[in-house]
Homo-oligomer: A and B are copies of this chain.
């Protein structure tokens, strides 16, 4: 709890996820734990740059690090995305209405 707050202190999820590189990183890590080099291979930028993106993701609590020998393995943690999900849910009604409208339209059409 206080832990989660501490983890997310520096960067918030919205900002972390705003960058396309970081979104791709999350996708890659979704496949499983990976060391930095394995990740940076997918990008045009330097390994160091990727490393910095990973730090931002870590600050937002979206990834965790684990040292294994000389490599640092990064693992995804989806939890903070729930905040985003919750924020989005506020606007859910719009699509519900649209769905309802669409449904009505289809049903009228069936007559």
Contacts and interface: CB of A to CB of B under 8 A. Distances in A.
Interface string A67-111: 000000000001001101101101100110000000000000000
Interface secondary structure of A, over-half rule: helix
A77 to B, nearest CB: 9
A28 interface: no
Contact of A88 (B19, B20, B85): B85
How big is the A interface, by class? 20 to 34
Contact of A15 (B18, B81, B82, B84): B18
Contacts of A17: 14, 18
Given A14-B17, A18-B15, A18-B18, A88 B88 contact: yes
Interface of A: 14-15, 17-20, 23, 26-27, 30, 78, 81-82, 84-85, 87-88, 90-91, 94-95
Given A78-B95, A85-B88, 20 more contacts: A14-B17, A14-B18, A14-B19, A14-B20, A14-B23, A15-B18, A17-B18, A18-B18, A23-B87, A26-B91, A27-B90, A30-B90, A30-B91, A78-B91, A78-B94, A81-B88, A81-B91, A82-B95, A85-B95, A88-B88
